[in-house]
Amino acid sequence: MEVLWTGVIKVRILKRISVVLEAIKFEHTFFALPFAFSGAVLGAKGLPTLWQSFWILLAMIGARNSAMAFNRVVDEPYDAQNPRTQDRALPKRAISRNFFIGFIIVSSAVFIFSAWMLNPLTFALSFPGLAWILFYSYTKQFTALSHLVLGFSLSFAPIGAHIAIKGAIEMLPILLGLGTMFWVAGFDILYSCLDYEFDQKARLFSIPRFFGIKKGLRMAILLHVLALFFFIQTGISGGMGAIYFAGVVLVFVFLFVEHTVLSDKDLSRINFSFFTMNGMVSIILFLAILMDVLI
């Protein structure tokens, strides 16, 4: 009987974890991972060891899980009022707030422990890094620069992974991190266009809310031009060859398509633009860096 009861508890916990993972869109970790391993490849000037790769992967999962779960907890009052997000787990009471908080604590611990397993500098930087990515969740309540705060958070992926390999801060991953920051900020503006009306009503801060959707789309283009500039600078600074720059050209093509399918009067293809095109950007750049370094 005791064994059966233990099994039931385990099943319930696993179900709750699956609800949390669905709520935080765990599969979107896919966006940041290629940039993290791009930084690792640049740091190792080739393939990092399996040991390093394992702890970088675990650190990335821990950081993103804690940040996204924290964001869901902070945004719960707004998600409950927003028609687009009312079906999320917390507003629907599909899972308790306390379970989410426990998940955040465990994920944060995984991130910090993974950083400790990599090297002393990674461990030391994990604390302010974690504080920053959690802080992002509050920024939409007081600044339209929240898109850049999110982008800066994601820039930690290539920079942190590079530090995990080298044990030092260098300029090359910072350039890649800046490209990552502007890339993320640009597509975050695109996605926030979907909440334009709600943000006005709830007095939340975003570029589209303050400047309108049309100008918001233009600002997203500008940020993606800056992203391309820093991706090019990464290649120049890192002495990359034709393979890498061919990858940057492909990134330009995907970003171009991402913007041409959207307009201020038609956002129906936002999911195609946000998920499909952006997923390809991170993968292409990673493969371009990997192939260029190896070949």
Spatial CB neighbours of 106, under 8 Å, sequence gap ≥ 6: none
CA distance 256 to 75: 32
Q: Tell me the average pLDDT across 14-23.
A: 69
pLDDT score of 6: 54
Q: Tell me the average pLDDT across 233-253.
A: 96
**Which CATH number characterizes residue 126's domain?**
1.10.357.140
- Is the pLDDT confidence value at 3 over 50? no
Spatial CB neighbours of 156, under 8 Å, sequence gap ≥ 6: 63, 129, 132, 133, 177
The model's confidence at residue 4, banded by pLDDT at 50, 70 and 90, is: very low
CA distance 33 to 186: 18
Mean pLDDT, all residues of the chain: 89
* Cβ atoms of residues 243 and 270 within 8 Å: no
pLDDT score of 272: 67
- Is the pLDDT confidence value at 12 over 90? no
Q: What domain range includes position 7?
A: 2-294
Spatial CB neighbours of 125, under 8 Å, sequence gap ≥ 6: 115, 160, 163
Express each pLDDT in 161-188 by its tens digit.
Answer: 999 999 999 999 999 999 999 999 999 9
CA distance 46 to 38: 10
Phi, psi (degrees; rounded to nearest 5) at 265? -100, -10
Q: What is the DSSP letter of 95?
A: S
Q: Tell me the average pLDDT across 262-276.
A: 72
SS3 141: coil
Counting the structural domains of the chain, the total is 1
Express each pLDDT in 41-77 by its tens digit.
Answer: 999 999 999 999 999 999 999 999 899 889 999 999 9
